Chains A and B, each alone.
Chain A
Amino acid sequence: MTNDIAPAAARPAAGNTPPEAVLTVRDLNVVYRTDPPVHAVKDVSLTLNRGEILGLAGESGCGKSTLAYAVNRLHEWPAEVTSGSVTFHDRDGGDLDLLALRDEELRRFRWAKLSMVFQGAMSALNPVISVRAQLEDVLTTHRPGMSRQERRERCAEVLRLVGVEPRRMHSFPHELSGGMRQRVMIAMALLLDPQVMIMDEPTTALDVLVQRGILREILRLRDRLGFAVVFITHDLPLLLELSDRIAVMLRGEIVEYDTAETIHRRPRHPYTRTLLDSFPSLTGDRGAFLRTGAAARSDAPGEEDAR
């Protein structure tokens, strides 16, 4: 249809100033202390720049969610960080070693500087508490000094930001549609103006139209508020379109880590190629898809180069 559109050159994140890191993960190892132990994350090193969208692609069980949880220290017992470091570079200067934080510091850090959006909005939101109460709850915990009025205004503000009418905040989660709930989750993640947002398959359960709306919202907010996003999904084409850089995970290891452009045009690792080929192109040729019986797979990566 419109294959000849110029590849996006000027993205706000890739501005003129040299990229400044906001989160650095060095040689992180996470092991599930089960019998036998499972090495879920192996020597993972990543750098997340300010305002960047980093895609984390991989299939179920590749360790992408474990990695995200470990970064935020949300991992639970059988999982254990055995080595490596996670450093958060604060906007106001000063580095935080996340793995060394004590409980109280960790509680203050989470959400205020690094928030999360989970896959199942229905299970992440409490079904018997109204949206407003849940939003305000975050504020009362983290900003005890805020007045009632200020809290209410802030809640209305973030809801407006994500495109939910503020009067919907009196609703209960089950009264909202799936897309709306996911927007509320994003609003909740935005409340404390975090510098990093980790999104774990935020659109997997939604259909394409709603997904498109949410993605547009994420990009718009990122451009406006300048937070960095770690976007976790198995949907590689989506990441190629959305993110600045992509890390492909396979069995706990990052097998390819490059800009989205490079991964799209010149994937190096065979697994990345397999993943790419698993998504037939909507408008392009049949590629690896063999319904007609003619194997045309080997042409697939070369085809884009020719363009």
Chain B
Amino acid sequence: MTSVIPPDRALEESPPGTGDGTAALPPTARRRGGRRALLPTWSPKLGIGLGLVVAIALFGLIGPLFTGDPDTIRNIGLTPPSGEHLLGTTQTGQDVLAQLVHATRGSLQIGLLVGVMATALSALFGIIGGYAGGFADEAFSLFSNVMLVIPGLPLVIVISGFVPADQRGSWTIAVVLAITGWAAAARVLRAQTLSLRGRDYVAAARVAGEKPWRVICVEILPNLLPLLASQFVFSVIAAILNEAGLSFLGLGASNSSTLGTMLYFAQNGFALQREAWWWFAPPGVVIAAFGCGLALINFSLDEIINPRLREAGRRRRAAAKAGRDTERVTRSTAA
């Protein structure tokens, strides 16, 4: 029997393609995958989020170069926005725009500091605990559970009240916010690490003789990156909001100006009662816009972590498109 399929080649160590079921290698050479799969897909959500965050970051970074000293006191208290002072002045005649620019920079600094520290802490406790297992895991997870149930804001108030005001720099505040804000993220990371630890590729790396730290850093960590990124973004939002809350209560960093301290001074100067909206509204808007931008970025990151969300989005879009198409068809047939 001379068969049609190349007989022996097909079975004996078939070259990839014939015996392996699928046609050779996918012709679309570079599909999304590996490192590139870590980048979120472009969507209006992501665009708006990135736009907001970049605009506010630039505002805080470059702004101070163009505005004067925010602390200059003038004898024109509480003037509404005008050509000279774009956002008006405070009770003591300080330029609100200049203050806003410096405050934004201060808030961003704290947010980034806390974001980095909290993410590092949660990675340390979550990933190492989850990978090591046994006693280390039990201890770490007990510790993060304890940290989780301690109510954050009161603890922060107590700690920052405990530190004398003259030593309360932005670093202190950042450290306080970081140690109260890492626990939830650590739990999520631990759960994910536990699931990754059981994967065969981790076992394969161990069989190959990789050291534990290398298994964590090279095999596990990359697969946690989207999650870490989203945790980071989330802790930045939380830090900025918490810092604003602390400062508003007068417990913030003493030597720095942030959006929270701006609100604190506006509150103390009875801005609301005097209807000086230009004093309290801008910092509020900046906080809201920044939080909104980061949240939108986070949604896009979620789509990487959970591809099903992405699928749903694509399906909706395609369905909408199909709907339009059929509409067009029915209209043309009717006509």
Contacts and interface: CB of A to CB of B under 8 A. Distances in A.
B4 A277 contact: no
B21 A270 contact: no
In the A-B complex, the 4 residue pairs with the smallest Cβ-Cβ separation, listed nearest first, are: A270-B4, A270-B5, A288-B11, A290-B12
28 contacts: A33-B322, A59-B21, A60-B21, A61-B21, A61-B22, A77-B315, A77-B318, A77-B319, A78-B315, A270-B4, A270-B5, A271-B5, A274-B5, A274-B10, A274-B11, A277-B11, A288-B12, A290-B11, A290-B12, A295-B8, A295-B12, A297-B7, A297-B11, A298-B1, A298-B7, A301-B1, A301-B3, A302-B1
Contacts of B10: 274
A110 interface: no
Interface in A265-307: 270-271, 273-274, 277-278, 288, 290, 295, 297-298, 301-302
Contacts of A288: 11-12
Interface of B: 1-5, 7-8, 10-12, 21-22, 315, 318-319, 322
A130 B106 CA distance: 57
Given A77-B315, A298-B1, A301-B1, 16 more contacts: A33-B322, A77-B318, A77-B319, A78-B315, A270-B4, A270-B5, A271-B5, A274-B5, A274-B10, A290-B8, A290-B11, A297-B11, A298-B2, A298-B3, A298-B7, A302-B1
A277 B322 CA distance: 44
Contacts of B21: 59-61
Residue with the highest number of chain A CB atoms closer than 10 Å, among B7, B8, B12, B319: B7
Contacts of A78: 315, 318
A113 B7 CA distance: 44
Nearest to A299: B1
A12 B8 CA distance: 40
A60 B4 CA distance: 22
Contacts of A301: 1, 3
B318 A33 contact: yes
A273 B8 contact: no
Nearest to A35: B318
Nearest to B318: A33
Given A60-B21, A77-B319, A273 B11 contact: no
B49 to A, nearest CB: 25
Contacts of A271: 5
Nearest to A278: B11
A301 B7 CA distance: 12
Contact of B5 (A59, A60, A273): A273
B11 to A, nearest CB: 5
Nearest to B23: A251
Nearest to B321: A33
A264 to B, nearest CB: 15
Given A61-B21, A77-B315, A273 B3 contact: yes
B28 to A, nearest CB: 9
Contacts of B22: 61
A136 to B, nearest CB: 31
B1 to A, nearest CB: 6
Nearest to A271: B5
A61 B1 CA distance: 29
Interface in A83-117: none
A298 B5 CA distance: 11
B129 to A, nearest CB: 27
B307 to A, nearest CB: 14
Contacts of B4: 270
Contact of A297 (B8, B318, B322): B8
Contacts of A274: 5, 10-11
Contacts of B7: 297-298
A298 to B, nearest CB: 6
Residue with the highest number of chain B CB atoms closer than 10 Å, among A33, A59, A78, A274: A274
A306 to B, nearest CB: 12
Contacts of B1: 298, 301-302
A269 to B, nearest CB: 8
A61 B26 CA distance: 14
A298 B21 CA distance: 21
Nearest to A60: B21
Nearest to B13: A290
Nearest to A269: B4
A260 B322 CA distance: 43
A297 B2 CA distance: 11
A278 B11 CA distance: 8
B24 to A, nearest CB: 14
Contacts of A60: 21
Nearest to A80: B322
A142 B49 CA distance: 49
A273 B1 CA distance: 12
A61 B20 CA distance: 12
Given A33-B322, A297-B11, A270 B3 contact: yes
Contacts of A33: 318, 322
Contacts of B315: 77-78
A298 B12 CA distance: 13
Nearest to B316: A77
Interface string A56-82: 000111000000000000000110000
A277 B21 CA distance: 14
Residue with the highest number of chain B CB atoms closer than 10 Å, among A61, A297, A301: A297
Contacts of A61: 21-22
A33 B326 CA distance: 14
Interface string A33-49: 10000000000000000
Nearest to B311: A78
A72 B319 CA distance: 22
A77 B8 CA distance: 41
A277 B11 CA distance: 8
A273 B5 CA distance: 9
